[in-house]
Structure 1
Amino acid sequence: MDWQFDAEVFQWRGPAPYFFVATPTHVNDFLHAHHGELTYGWGVIPAQVRIGATEVTTSLIPRDGVYLVPLKVALRRAERIDDGDHVRVGLHVGREDVNGSGDGREPTTFVVDARVAVDLATTGATIPAEHSLTAPTLLRSQVLALVYESVHRGEIDERAGRKILDDIRGLRIRFLGDRSLEDHAWRLAVQIGWPDVHQAQYIALTQLQADALVTGDDELASAARAFVTIATPADILRP
């Protein structure tokens, strides 16, 4: 199903800059009536959203009786969208593009997990200027644990370990985490049946803010394919 509507952009007032538009009444009525056919099974609906010349794959989030359309960084940056702007939104709901980019363009914003961050730092990777990395705030503690364990096992010395941590800071990863992400991750973890929400945060953040997830965890990648695009470290490094 496809719609076009005008909406005002608003910002989620948390520590992370999430931006949304709300769907109008006639769209809400259809989504509520057909949510069983459209949802992943817990309320969130896969969708493609177009503003101007830019289209991205995302997920509609139910909140307070309406559905919110997350405006990812790539979309806002390309169309120069900011809080309070009035935009013309093209919206398509359905499942067919959930495993792809849905817009024929290469991903530019990647969610990375701790293992990928360590590998990028260890190999001295240079991130192309047009690409950006983001991660849940929990990545900081996960990276610290991975590097400390390598030092403790004698695989690297402390000096090398501290250099890896410095080099990860040099990757300029954007760390995000607030109530919106936590709520989204909670629902995902329940749906997938995971015993905690740590991995689910990576999927949730990709749905809300990024084009693709890059992970060194086979279990996470396998589960995430049903919800987001999976990319590789090579995709991050490719200009």
Structure 2
Amino acid sequence: MKRFVIDPAALLHLANNGYRPNPGHQLVAPNSIRSAALDLLLQDVRDGEITEPEALELHELITALKIRLLGDRVSRGTAWKIVREQNGDSIRYAEYLALTLLQADALVALDPELAAFAEGVVPLAPVSELLPETGNGNNPQPS
């Protein structure tokens, strides 16, 4: 089993496209991921990119997706250490890196700022790594 930390953008990408992660993989994220995803949805509604009913439907889909949510003392302490070492401005991105170091094989980050912060610190993986092998009809092809 592979474990992947996912960011809010990756979570929304999965939900938006109807992708189901490979059942042999485990998704991991900070406790705050669903709230962060809701912030992204709120911005999309405000920008007129989606309607409020569409946002609420996506909220239901992200809530149903099985994710191991973490935020214990060790991961917060590791995030603190990372943000100080990387001279970061916020603990927010460092939480994803800490969980990747402590609990996962790689980070799937569709947020370009998070991906840049993670470069050289933790392994990065494309969103396609989350999906079952293609050709079985269970998932549409990732874009």
Provide TM-score, normalisation by structure 1.
Answer: 0.53
Looking at structure 1, the residues matched to 50 and 83 of structure 2 have their Cα atoms a distance apart, in angstroms, of: 34
The one-letter code of the counterpart of 2:29 is A
Q: Deviation digits for residues 135-155 of structure 1, max 9, x if unmatched? A: 001212211111111112221
Looking at structure 1, the residues matched to 34 and 132 of structure 2 have their Cα atoms a distance apart, in angstroms, of: 25
The 5-angstrom pairing of residues 86-235 of structure 1 reads: 108-235=2-129
Looking at structure 1, the residues matched to 87 and 95 of structure 2 have their Cα atoms a distance apart, in angstroms, of: 14
Looking at structure 1, the residues matched to 11 and 111 of structure 2 have their Cα atoms a distance apart, in angstroms, of: 12
- Contact in 1 for aligned 2:6/2:108 (Cα 8 Å): yes
- Contact in 1 for aligned 2:44/2:50 (Cα 8 Å): yes
Identity fraction in percent: 37
In structure 2, the gaps of 5 or more residues are 134-143
The one-letter code of the counterpart of 1:140 is R
Deviation at residue 156 of structure 1 after TM alignment? 1.1
Looking at structure 2, the residues matched to 184 and 170 of structure 1 have their Cα atoms a distance apart, in angstroms, of: 28
Structure with more helix by fraction: 2
Work out which structure has the larger RCO, using CA pairs closer than 8 Å and 6 or more positions apart in sequence: 2
Q: Which runs of 4+ in 1 moved over 3 A?
A: none
The one-letter code of the counterpart of 2:122 is V
- Contact in 1 for aligned 2:107/2:124 (Cα 8 Å): yes
Looking at structure 2, the residues matched to 217 and 151 of structure 1 have their Cα atoms a distance apart, in angstroms, of: 18
Provide TM-score, normalisation by structure 2.
Answer: 0.87
Looking at structure 2, the residues matched to 156 and 217 of structure 1 have their Cα atoms a distance apart, in angstroms, of: 19
Deviation at residue 170 of structure 1 after TM alignment? 2.2
Aligned residues, how many? 133
- Which has the greater radius of gyration? 1
